[in-house]
Amino acid sequence: MLSEYTTPGQSAAVSDNESLYNLLTERIKRTGKGTTIAAYKRADGSWQNVTSGEFHTHVLQAAKGLIALGVEAHQAVALFSATRYEWAVLDFALAAIGAVNVPIYDTDSAAQAQRIINDATVCVAFADTQERFNKLASVRKACPSLRQILMIDANAMGVLEGLGVTVSDTQLQQRIDAVRADDVATIVYTSGSTGVPKGVELTHRNFMSITRGASAALHEIIADGYPRLLLFLPLAHCFARFIQYASVHADYGVVGFVADTRSLLPDLRSFEPTYVLGVPRVFEKVYNAASRKAGMGLKGKLFAKATLAAREWSKEEQAGTPHSPQAIAEHALYEMLVYKAIRGALGPKIKYVACGGAPLDPNLAHFFNGIGLPMIQGYGLTETAAPFAATRVTDNLIGTVGQPAPGSSVRIAEDGELQVSGPNVFRGYHNMPEKTAEVFTADGWFKTGDLGSIDEAGRITITGRKKDIIITAGGKNVSPIPLEQTIAQCPLVEHAVVIGDQKPFVSALVTLDPEALALWLPTQGFEVGSGVGAGYASHAANHGASHATSHDATHAASHAASLNLVEFALKRLDIHAAIRAEIQEYINRANASVSRAESVRKFAIVHEQFTQENGCLTPSMKVVRPAVLCVFAPVIEHEIYERQ
């Protein structure tokens, strides 16, 4: 194993006088104004295509309107909105005039928005809907820098266009020409999974270098031919933001914006993307939905065999082992009966799926790879403008997160921490010089907080987080992530958190997936009464696949109905026992890969879900481990450890 690696080649060049706005103008110079660059849903559900020339016009109109509103260079403007076309227009408009985009997650509370607005000294804010506008209005008096709030659904873009007629082309061009690559383009607040959210200052150079570098390294997906991306992840997250830039930068790239994921599967079929970007939970739910749809009978047995065959097929390909005649015949059969339908659920033109944002279970990657959908995995943080490393189409070794972009470097510190260096590494935390100093080494490398290794080809493998390492009372160091990944493969499990720091043994907290539970109970011979989550069960049966690809798990049914079903199941002793037996099978699988001292000895199923409201989930759906330990402390102390 290597201790340091630099990917061959030069870092993507970014001139000092460039800005993110140049990604758009460069494309227009190469391919003209007539190519389709974006699409959004009309009220009737059809797609409205937007040419690069039309998009450019909308950006310039918004830029003039922002100037007319008094937005100066380096001033902060907040976007409190779900993913939608107007988000992209405002983003490029702000970049063009040198203002700072401060995104706020569409799921954030009014208090969270207030904190961000005050910390970044936001002068103007855009909200997409009445609900989010009201949240901002409720805290406006507590935000002294906030001069104005505009609502996108109330024609904010039209207002900007009208105001912008007072701004001349010369005034606009002067603002465009004044922007420099090392100016702050955005302040993105971390999700808070490892502590208090911090404002990450990212420059134009940070995002442009990784966009150009990734477009070269992953050109088969992002740039070649006529790539189409359906974007449904929140643009407040750097992962989605980066891929938006990459799509706009590609000669013939088209990005479709989806604000409401409740109709995601029909949208995938109608938009026909060539690649889809998601976090692991999205693809876990796609797989679980396909498994549930197959059921427990002959179709279920066929799906189970097809799953095993897909994984073995992928592993043989990875190892360079020739497929046996029997494997080839089985793969052809499963392709016709199973694989084609799963791929088709993601659209008829789908070629690749890309995953990042959280650790990915290798078995899931092997499954998608085996059914003909190579899963490209990326690794990065908000502090690296999202991706720092990624597997390549021609070097997609499952279990690794690939190599850094050309010209970027990675190394392993003495304590096993991954440290990185490159042009996309942020310049510092907003208003936090002490925190900034803490995360950089004396020679300028960024300390990621992740543990990992580097193989001889420079491929990175992430093994855990420094702060997540469990040290039992017996002194055994345990990495919880591999165990959690295996337990979470259980279709009934929504989240699994392995615990045991300073405890006599390792254990786990588990939450149930209400949708999966609603479909699983009848297969086990259990009847759900008409007054207990029946509406939820009906919805899950009819719309489970659509919900499966949504990043927001609140769309399937009301929170109250889901909790009602979980509570009902856990109070029935016979059902509770059956659920525990099902989960125990996956815990046994997890334990098979570790020593007894590292194995999960006990687990508790908690009634309450992990949510943003109780602090256990971030807006990007990452589990906040310290919050889980706090919220469920009574369960940990009284149900798991007290009786020992």
pLDDT in tens, 51-79: 999 999 999 999 999 999 999 999 999 99
DSSP 234: -
Bridge partners (DSSP) of residue 256 are: 39, 230
**Burial of 333 per CB tally in 10 Å (0-12, 13-18, 19+):** middle
Looking at residue 61, what is its pLDDT? Answer: 98
pLDDT, averaged across the chain: 90
Angle 407-412-415 from CA coordinates, rounded to 5°? 160
Give the range with max mean pLDDT: 169-173, 290-294, 530-534. Answer: 169-173
Sheet order of strands, 275-278 included: 47-51, 36-41, 254-257, 228-231, 275-278, 352-355, 375-381, 386-390, 403-404
pLDDT per position as a tens digit, 312-359: 999 999 999 999 999 999 999 999 999 999 999 899 999 999 998 777
pLDDT per position as a tens digit, 435-471: 999 999 999 999 999 999 999 999 999 988 887 888 8
SS (H, E, C) 265-316: HHHHHHHCCCEEEECHHHHHHHHHHHHHHHCCCHHHHHHHHHHHHHHHHHHH
- Among residues 256, 260, 268, 266, the alpha carbon closest in space to that of 231 is found at 256
Pick one of 3.40.50.620, 3.40.50.12780, 3.40.50.970, 1.20.1560.10 as the CATH number of 16-278.
3.40.50.12780
- Which residue has better confidence, 40 or 549? 40
What are the structural domain ranges in the chain?
16-278, 469-641
pLDDT per position as a tens digit, 220-252: 999 999 999 999 999 999 999 999 999 999 999
Looking at residue 562, what is its pLDDT? Answer: 54
Q: Please state which CATH number belongs to domain 469-641.
A: 3.30.300.30
Q: What share of the chain is helix, strand, coil (3-state, %, to 5)?
A: 45, 20, 35
SS (H, E, C) 493-534: EEEEEEECCCCCCEEEEEEECHHHHHHHHHHCCCCCCCCCCH
Q: Residue 596 — pLDDT band, cuts 50, 70, 90?
A: confident
Q: Do domains 16-278 and 469-641 have the same CATH topology?
A: no
SS (H, E, C) 459-476: CEEEEEEHHHCEECCCCC
Lowest mean pLDDT segment, chosen from 157-166, 322-331, 356-365: 356-365
d(CA 206, CA 347): 32
pLDDT per position as a tens digit, 482-527: 899 899 989 899 999 999 988 889 999 999 999 889 889 988 888 7
**pTM of the full structure:** 0.83
